[in-house]
Structure 1
Amino acid sequence: MNQTVASGFLSTPLVPTANRTVDEFVRRFQLFVNLPTFILGLLFNAFALWSLCCRFRRSDVSVIYMMNLILADILLLFSLPFKIYAYQTSNWSLGPAFCMFLECLYYVNTYASILMTVLICLDRYICIKHPFLARSFRSPQKTAAACATVWIGVWSCSACSYLTKPPISVCFFNHDQSLWKSPVIVLLQTLFVLSALAMVFCSVQILRALRRMSGAKEGHRDNSKSVNIVLSNLLTFLVCFTPYHLAMLLYFLAQNSLIHEKYLTPLRNALQICLLLANINCVLDAMYYYFVIREFRKSHKHSPADG
Structure 2
Amino acid sequence: MSGNFTNSCIEALEPSNRFLVSAVVYGLVLAVSLPLNTVSLWILLRSHGLRSSCAVLMVNLAASDLLLALSLPLRVYFYATLQWPFGVGTCTAAIMLFRINIRTSSIFITLISVDRLVALVFPLRSRSLRTTACACKCCAVVWILVTILCIPEIIHLHNKLTECTIYTPCFEFRTSRKHSLTMALSQAIFLLILLVVNIVSTVVVIVALRKRPSTGAAKVNNRMNVILIFAVNMLVFMIFFMPFTLQLLIGLMDNHADVLRGLICLASVNCCLDPLIYYFSLDSFWQDKGKRQTDVGTYSLSRTMERS
TM over 0.5: yes
- The answer to whether residue 137 in structure 2 is matched with residue 148 in structure 1 is no
Q: Give, in whole Å, the separation in 1 of the partners of 2:14 and 2:262.
A: 12
Deviation for aligned residue 1:132? 3.8
Instruction: Please say if residues 42 and 74 of structure 1, whose CA atoms lie closer than 8 Å, have aligned partners that are also in contact.
Output: yes
Aligned residues: 283
- 2:279 maps to 290
Tell me the distance in 2 between the aligned counterparts of 1:22 and 1:187.
33
Q: Deviations over 1:224-280 (max 9, x none)?
A: 22222221222222221122122112113x1xxxxxxxx41xx22111111111100
Higher relative contact order (CA 8 A, sep 6+): 2
CA deviation profile, 1:125-166 (whole Å, cap 9, x unmatched): 111123344122211111111111111122122221121232
Paired residues for 1:15-94 under 5 Å: 17-18=9-10, 21=13, 24-94=16-86
2: CA distance, partners of 1:185 / 1:100: 18
In the TM superposition, 1:251-290 aligns within 5 A as 251-252=251-252, 254=253, 263-264=254-255, 267-290=256-279
Q: Which whole-Å CA distance do the structure 2 matches of 1:92 and 1:83 have between them? A: 10
| Identity among equivalent pairs (%) | 23
TM-score under structure 2 length normalisation: 0.83
Is residue 2:242 matched to residue 1:242?
Answer: yes
Shift of 1:221: 2.5
- Decide whether the 8 Å contact of 1:83 with 1:172 is kept in 2: yes
**How far 1:23 moved relative to its partner?**
7.9
Q: Distance in 1 between matches of 2:283 and 2:129?
A: 25
Alpha-carbon distance in structure 2 between the residues aligned to 1:221 and 1:22: 58
RMSD: 2.6
Check whether the contact 2:118–2:126 (CA below 8 A) recurs between aligned residues: yes
Where do 5+ consecutive residues of structure 1 fail to align?
A: 1-5, 11-15, 255-262
Post-superposition shift, 1:175? 2.6
Where in structure 2 are there 5+ consecutive unaligned residues?
297-305
Q: Which runs of 4+ in 1 moved over 6 A?
A: none
Superposed displacement of residue 114, structure 1: 0.8
- The yes-or-no answer on 1:123 pairing with 2:123 is no
Give me the TM-score of the superposition, normalised by structure 1.
0.83
Q: Deviations over 1:73-92 (max 9, x none)?
A: 01111111101212233442
Change (3 A) 1:75 1:239: same
Between the aligned partners of 1:18 and 1:185, the Cα distance in structure 2 is: 23
1:115: how far off?
0.9
Cα-to-partner distance string for 1:277-301 (whole Å, 9 max, x where unaligned): 1100000112212222445559932
